[in-house]
Amino acid sequence: MNLTMEQLQELKRVIERVEHPTEALQEVQKQIDIALFQSRLKEGDWFKHQESGEVYHAYAVDHDWGQVWYFDPYTQSESAWVDIEKVAPVTQEEIEQAKKRHEELTRRYEERYEMINAFLEKNHPGGRFELVDRLDDEAFPEDIEVDGKVIGQYAWVGGSRYHYTVNMAD
């Protein structure tokens, strides 16, 4: 069904006037709310990824391409994006919880990043270390374990160069 935003808003008003809406009408209203949210989404808004249920902060929204760019605190990646059709509105409580979780993950990342660099510098003096998203092409990656916890992996890539990752899992 192809409806304009004005038509969706009018349909929403009609459904809201129904005294005892059926489950089907409630679901239609929910889908209308999501569509209206998607059409108004802008840089700086918080949203929920419908597939993962995670809450993120949009730093760029391209309605022409239908994409929302966001920082992913789990991977510490600024290149994460999602199709705008897969985002949904969030409550203020969900936003507050997400902010706390993002701060916690950023703190964890920074701590592990420092520990990994200290580990690599100690075990491979003079090495050049490059953080990568994942170790796909590197042979024989090794775990970086500190206090019995695997906080990352690294692999030799040639000469004095090493690639490494940060493990964000608890």
Enter the DSSP assignment of 20. Answer: S
Select the more confidently predicted residue: 52 or 139.
52
Query: How far apart, in whole angstroms, are the C-alpha atoms of residue 146 and residue 13?
Result: 57
Tokens of 112: 């592990």
CATH 2.30.30 fits 5-94, yes or no: yes
Per-residue pLDDT band at 29 (split at 50, 70, 90): confident
How much is the pLDDT for 77? 84
Count CB-CB contacts under 10 A for residue 17.
Answer: 8
Higher-pLDDT residue of 96 and 30 is: 96
65-113 pLDDT, tens per residue?
999 999 999 888 887 999 999 999 999 999 999 999 999 999 999 999 9
Whether pLDDT at 42 is above 90: yes
Bridge partners for 61 per DSSP? 68
- The pLDDT confidence band at residue 21, using thresholds 50, 70 and 90, is confident
How many other CB atoms sit within 10 Å of the CB of residue 68?
Answer: 27
Give pLDDT, residue 100.
97
CA-to-CA distance for 37 and 34, rounded, in angstroms?
Answer: 5
User: Would you state the pLDDT for residue 112?
Assistant: 95
Q: Provide mean pLDDT across the span 111-127.
A: 94
Percent of the chain with pLDDT over 90: 65
Name the most confidently modeled range: 6-15, 25-34, 94-103, 129-138.
Answer: 94-103
Residue 1 scores a pLDDT above 80? no
Is the model more confident about 37 or about 96? 96
Instruction: Please report, for the chain, the start and end positions of each structural domain, with discontinuous segments joined by +.
Output: 5-94, 112-166
